[in-house]
A and B are shown apart, each in its own frame.
Chain A
């Protein structure tokens, strides 16, 4: 029985938190499974939606890029260039907003059962991974249509997907925890998503920014602070072959910001987690 001994005291952070998290992995999968079932069960729109949304974003963004004559690397169709960016962006934006709202939408669970709360936002991201796979299949179809063959760099793609996941989880955890106490963060989420769509290299490429003589150095650095810049550059590098390049300094800054966000997100989440049921 000793192995189940629990000591509850005010203020003390739970020493067995990570062990508990592992013990509750079953619940993690069940919650993800529930979200997937619900998403794809109710309607046909479920699947159609996860196909339609990236396609629409893709075409609009490609059109904007064409309109402003953003540069396309040699031998890469514009549609594919934009598709390689829409892919991680859609994943990030859905994962981030779902995770951010997850605690509120599961408040009935938080006030009635104990489990490490980290499970809730983390499990919503699984559903977004399924959506990601569907979008990825669309991109592959597009590549086939353009008879575009990616090179071996595509093997690095999971690494950049992981980076996108870290970014979404970090920022999602932070906003989810803030949302419990300050309910107006739910208005912040759509703003971040909308704003991000324009400051991330989706319609254009990072080279457009870094190589522009009109843009001051400071702005280039600010641009690099957006963690999704690193993710999207990475996706293009993996999928589109030799002609695309990653600007290393900017890329490292983006990764740094992603990891910092994950760290801050988990720290803040953990420090407020015990009072969730009191204030939600």
Chain B
């Protein structure tokens, strides 16, 4: 086996967290006043610091031509890893050896200047991403054709629509030709057609034997593009291997993580209150991530302390931005004291991938007994279980992915 193109040994990155500091940077006046205080008090100022390990003892090798998908939950250290490999931040421990020209694409349109025209921004962005003027000249026409903004080449990009902006930016990045390409979650932008085009471009880059490191939350994109996977959790590398396996591992580890939400007892409880909420798959097993299109149910548990007439329990579903999607009420019932559970079964409306809030409300005869707006959520993953579904599903197509019936008939 040839020597690896990237070799990471015991990599660590830690940050010192300073508590009671609202801003990430230190103001000199703080340093001075701290000093002054210590002179007067003759004691050292108490600064509570905590070491936060964004990455901890991560080791792996990447062979030339590998397409490596890096997955993990938010805050797992994926972006930190990419930033270290791109030389933007320095590691605090370990050693990395990279044998080739690296281009990193951590953001679409880095360095784009709104006042400059599309043409000027192509040159600027290209050079920021590491292309020489000659390379940009040679690729210029291809970039323009890929971006589909020919007509607006001499318009300042501040007048571009966001779609045009993203297309132009990605077009420049897509024409980089480094030996190693590092890409962070950039496919989340643009419309479905353009996303497909970008994925295609990245596939062909990989096909040409280039090494690609790709971070994404879109499991279908990662699975399509990558052959090897790295799973990070809390800064540690927990699993490596073929991409499919790593994705499976990730989804399973997710399942037990946040499927059950214990609800705190209200400070001044009424005679009925909810205690727990659990997201489940169709078999009643706890599931933190529901594959898109798969059936799911929500079980709530609640306690009733006094005989209650006209009891209703409601479950609301809203977006993370608090846009209500739907609310379901139970039939009014009379309940005796005791512990109960209510199971809501989803009836075939499929939500797009993403996270949604679950809201529980208990009431009796119109009086609210307990209302829990911000304690639980359901995550719909991007892994498609819809039979034969080959379309790229994304949130831009809407929250509900069920397709309407389409009838096409010739008009005479």
Contact = CB atoms under 8 A, between A and B. Distances in A.
A181 interface: yes
B51 to A, nearest CB: 14
A12 to B, nearest CB: 9
Interface string B86-112: 111111111111111110101100110
A27 interface: yes
Given A1-B99, A10-B93, A38-B115, A114 B104 contact: yes
A84 interface: no
B28 interface: yes
Interface string B129-141: 1001100000000
Interface residues of A, number: 39
Interface in A2-36: 2, 4-11, 26-27, 30, 33-34
B116 A7 contact: no
A37 interface: yes
A37 B26 contact: no
Contacts of A2: 99
B70 interface: no
B120 interface: yes
B99 A4 contact: yes
B106 A112 contact: yes
Contacts of A181: 25-26
Interface in A30-75: 30, 33-34, 37-38, 41-42
A220 interface: no
Contacts of A114: 86-88, 102, 104
A182 B26 contact: yes
Contacts of A185: 28
A10 B26 CA distance: 22
Contacts of B90: 8, 10-11, 274-275
A183 B107 contact: no
Contacts of B115: 37-38, 41-42
B89 A277 contact: yes
B100 A1 contact: yes
Nearest to B111: A109
Contacts of A38: 113, 115-116
B179 interface: yes
A189 interface: no
A181 B24 CA distance: 9
A249 interface: no
B100 A30 contact: no
Contacts of B86: 113-114
A175 B86 CA distance: 26
A26 B133 contact: yes
Interface in A84-102: none
B89 A278 contact: yes
A180 interface: yes
B128 interface: yes
A5 B98 contact: yes
B145 to A, nearest CB: 23
Contacts of A4: 98-101, 179
B27 interface: yes
B301 interface: no
5 contacts: A4-B101, A8-B91, A30-B128, A34-B124, A183-B23
The 6 closest A-B pairs by CB, nearest first: A114-B87, A182-B28, A8-B96, A30-B127, A274-B90, A112-B110
